[in-house]
Amino acid sequence: MPKLPVVSGKELIKVFGKIGFLFVRQRGDHVIMKHQDGRIVTIPLKKEIKKGTLKKGILNPLNISVEELIDLLK
């Protein structure tokens, strides 16, 4: 299993835009995006998202693997 990459909130917004998530709203420093199939993700706009937040709060609920995230970041 590859190491979890260090990413910013802006990079994650671009990645999720590539796979079909659309911007819904923003409240403070958190952006909410929604997919057509009903999945919702909240992305904090930080320079560096903590590894626990990225893995347990964003990737796991969306069933996205670390490998898929790395491929999308390229």
- Can you tell me the mean pLDDT for 44-71? 95
1 pLDDT more than 80: no
Q: CA-to-CA distance for 55 and 64, rounded, in angstroms?
A: 9
Q: Within a domain: residue 4? A: no
Q: Within a domain: residue 65? A: yes
DSSP β-bridge partners for residue 34: 22, 40
CB-facing half-sphere around the CA of 14: CA atoms within 13 A? 10
Residue-wise pLDDT tens digits, 2-55: 899 999 999 999 999 999 999 999 999 999 999 999 999 999 999 999 999 999
State how many domains the chain has: 1
Q: Within a domain: residue 35? A: yes
Contact 35, 20 (CB under 8 A): yes
Structure tokens at 8: 């910013």
Q: Within a domain: residue 54? A: yes
What pLDDT shows up at residue 8?
A: 96
What pLDDT shows up at residue 63?
A: 93
Which of 44, 12, 13, 48 is CA-nearest to residue 30?
Answer: 44
Q: Within a domain: residue 3? A: no
Q: Within a domain: residue 26? A: yes
- Can you tell me the mean pLDDT for 56-73? 94
pTM score: 0.87
What is the CATH number for 43?
A: 3.30.920.30
Q: Within a domain: residue 48? A: yes
What pLDDT shows up at residue 50?
A: 95
Domain limits for position 36: 9-73
